[in-house]
Structure 1
Amino acid sequence: MSETLESTVFKPVQELAVDCNTPPERYIYTCSNEAIGVNPPVLDIPVIDLNSLQSSSPSADRELEKLRASVTSCGCFQLIGHGMTSSFLDQVSSIGRDFFALPVKEKLKCLRTAENTQGKLLQEYTEKINLLTEAVLKVLSRSLNLKESCFLDQYGENAYMVARFNYYPPSPRPDLTLGVKPHADGSAMTFLIQDKQVEGLQVLKDDQWFNVPNVPDALLVNIGDQVEIMSNGIYKSPVHRVVTNSERERITVAMFCSPNSSRYIEPAEELISKRRPRLYKKVNNYFDMCFEGYQHGKPAIEAAKM
């Protein structure tokens, strides 16, 4: 009995899912307030063309208004015109797909070391996302009639960027298990390469869960808590979760982009008025707040509120 329990507890999820007919109890989602719906509605997330936003054509204003409406209502958007080809995004995704296909002993050989922190392809992707973050922060500032560099000045240099390759195996009971429980990102922004074949991301909007559709070659951009703070709450960091399915694995790549922890962020002064008072404190080390909030079962953004 103890051997069975020990092997179950310490097995990686990927191995645990093999020939698993019933999810172990610790993986069963028991929050009664948030049942896992079978077929929730699809969220109509606008597709935003960065090339159009950065142009001087009449369509730029329309695209900017579409961006503002999207991040105000649901906190995310599908980004195209980002300068990365379909084949390049597929190569980035394949890093995770190839890794998760390896036996455990081979995976252990890939542990990060000080001399080998990331491969050249991932480094190239990180550099592209860094430039993309700057561009998106500028258009987000413009969409609120702020100086273009307003959010970028707070974001600063030497940003904290983390790539996470996510593997979600098939589940024998997708009505009982989640890939990731509900949460909001503590980043400034998160860029997600979705699985082209398998959906699973859901966003909470107006107290209802919605499926997020896959858009070919688009990056899904989530507004994080730190941009919510900079925008004085006009832009919301969406609560989201990942559901599983009984038939297919799902692999995604998330890049979390945040200011260096030593930098202070706060609501832009131009967004504070009698009609909309200051909602958030001036904070730094936001991920420490995230960890503390997690320990107490509270969203980190609550600790940043006035």
Structure 2
Amino acid sequence: MAEAFDEIKVAFVCLEESVQAVAATIHDSGEVPERYIRPEIDADPVIADAGSYTLPTIDMSRLINPEFSQEELAKLGSACEHWGFFQLVNHGVDQVLSQQIKADVSEFFSLPLEEKSAVAIPPNGMQGFGHHFVFSKEQKLDWVDLLFLATRPVEERSLDFWPKKPSTFRDTLDKYTTELANVTEQLFRFMAEDLGVDHEALLGTFKGLPQSVRINYYPPCRQADKVLGLSPHTDGIGMTLLLHVNDVQGLQIRKGGEWFSVQALPGALVVNIGDVLEIITNGKYKSIEHRAVINPEKERITIAAFHSVHLPCTIGPLQELGDPRYKAIDGFEYTKGYFTAKLEGRRYLESLKL
């Protein structure tokens, strides 16, 4: 996705304001600036009781064990088809490495603003520290600071935006994202088996497994019911793997017209299907709308790893999966359309249906 952005040059407005700094400024008064207040929250469907749904859990160790593989594969297929989200446990990512990336990310966001700004997103840029999907100085803003970096392929990295503090950050991120890429490739192969398609046909669109990370810092807000950490959206890629850096929850997904909260399991990766995979699977797998809400007392930090398409490519349904329900589209055109459509639910994905 970062590669496509460099080619397409979608115009973003560069903002110097840090939400973390805003949150610190208003800590005593609790008065949220008008630009962050989201009146549409009150008009959204009532959030379902968190206990009314249980997000599916997939065990990677069972997927790769011949004795349990078929049973777990059926669970994986059902999760992708009916939920578009699942929690992946026993995924094989080194626990020491996971703890180190959590520590490094937390330390980066604890740095003074001027040090974080050394890797700020430039005007009309995408990589670095700052904000995404800001198209005007009048629009409402999400209550989040982010660090966005292209991580794979290695030659696409812009190391000028990779923080030098903490000193272990670059090496840790390199190792962590490499392990995530291996997990993602395994999942794609199991998904191909579930779909009954050749795994090379499915993986072909994701050749080389282009990858980027969005590291999110959601400051606490006393008026948490008036702000959003991340607007309702779907991910315009193939698959996302999300790691909670701390134990503060905030992810919500829309199911049955209502929002409900995801309770992330300790050590699990929360995996979701992106728009591209819904298109390729001809709608069998679902890309689900989700958002992030804010905790009134505690910060929330997450690392989202996006696995995107190989460009140039054509994105369209696999022939083996029946009459196409989505139009085939050039990868660059698709990416430009996703960004220019802004972060507005499933609107862009729906526009590609036949």
Counterpart selection for 1:85 from 87, 90, 94: 94
1:129 and 2:180 aligned:
yes
**Mapped contact 2:220–2:297 kept (Cα < 8 A):** yes
Which residue matches 1:282? 328
Which residue matches 2:341? 293
1:198 and 2:244 aligned:
no
2:335 partner amino acid: F
2:290 partner amino acid: H
Q: Which one is further off, 159-168 or 222-231?
A: 159-168
Which residue matches 1:15? 21
Task: Work out the CA distance in 1 between the residues paired with 2:183 and 2:18.
Answer: 34
**Mapped contact 1:203–1:239 kept (Cα < 8 A):** yes
2:283 partner amino acid: G
Instruction: State the 1:36 CA deviation.
Output: 7.1
Summarize the Cα distance change of 1:38–1:233 in structure 2 as closer, same or farther, 3 Å threshold.
Answer: closer
Q: How many residues align?
A: 292
Q: List aligned pairs for 1:254-269, cutoff 5 A.
A: 254-269=304-319
1:300 partner amino acid: Y
The share of aligned pairs that are identical, in percent, is: 34
Summarize the Cα distance change of 1:293–1:164 in structure 2 as closer, same or farther, 3 Å threshold.
Answer: same
Task: Work out the CA distance in 2 between the residues paired with 1:75 and 1:298.
Answer: 13
Summarize the Cα distance change of 1:114–1:70 in structure 2 as closer, same or farther, 3 Å threshold.
Answer: closer
1:151 and 2:202 aligned:
yes
Task: Work out the CA distance in 2 between the residues paired with 1:52 and 1:295.
Answer: 36
2:250 partner amino acid: G
**Mapped contact 1:198–1:250 kept (Cα < 8 A):** yes
**Mapped contact 1:189–1:257 kept (Cα < 8 A):** yes
**Mapped contact 2:119–2:161 kept (Cα < 8 A):** no
Instruction: State the 1:262 CA deviation.
Output: 1.1
SS of 1:162's equivalent?
strand
Instruction: State the 1:294 CA deviation.
Output: 1.9
Task: Work out the CA distance in 1 between the residues paired with 2:22 and 2:49.
Answer: 26
1:64 and 2:73 aligned:
yes
1:233 and 2:239 aligned:
no
Which residue matches 1:142? 193
Summarize the Cα distance change of 1:21–1:128 in structure 2 as closer, same or farther, 3 Å threshold.
Answer: same
After superposition, what is the alpha-carbon deviation per residue over 1:124-182, rounded to whole angstroms, capped at 9, x for unaligned?
A: 1221122222111111111122223331122212x331111100011111111111110
Summarize the Cα distance change of 1:22–1:183 in structure 2 as closer, same or farther, 3 Å threshold.
Answer: same
SS of 1:203's equivalent?
strand
Task: Work out the CA distance in 2 between the residues paired with 1:299 and 1:95.
Answer: 36
SS of 1:301's equivalent?
helix
RMSD: 2.2
Summarize the Cα distance change of 1:126–1:210 in structure 2 as closer, same or farther, 3 Å threshold.
Answer: same
**Mapped contact 1:188–1:225 kept (Cα < 8 A):** yes
Which residue matches 1:179? 229
Which residue matches 2:7? none
Q: What is the TM-score of this pair, normalised by structure 1? A: 0.88
SS of 2:349's equivalent?
helix
After superposition, what is the alpha-carbon deviation per residue over 1:250-298, rounded to whole angstroms, capped at 9, x for unaligned?
A: 00000111012311121111111xxxx3111112123212012228887
**Mapped contact 1:293–1:303 kept (Cα < 8 A):** no
Task: Work out the CA distance in 1 between the residues paired with 2:215 and 2:52.
Answer: 24
SS of 1:302's equivalent?
helix
**Mapped contact 1:43–1:213 kept (Cα < 8 A):** no
**Mapped contact 1:38–1:175 kept (Cα < 8 A):** no
Instruction: State the 1:94 CA deviation.
Output: 2.1
SS of 1:140's equivalent?
helix
Task: Work out the CA distance in 2 between the residues paired with 1:123 and 1:200.
Answer: 27
**Mapped contact 1:36–1:175 kept (Cα < 8 A):** no
Which residue matches 2:352? 304
1:44 and 2:54 aligned:
yes
**Mapped contact 2:220–2:298 kept (Cα < 8 A):** yes
**Mapped contact 2:47–2:258 kept (Cα < 8 A):** no
1:245 partner amino acid: N
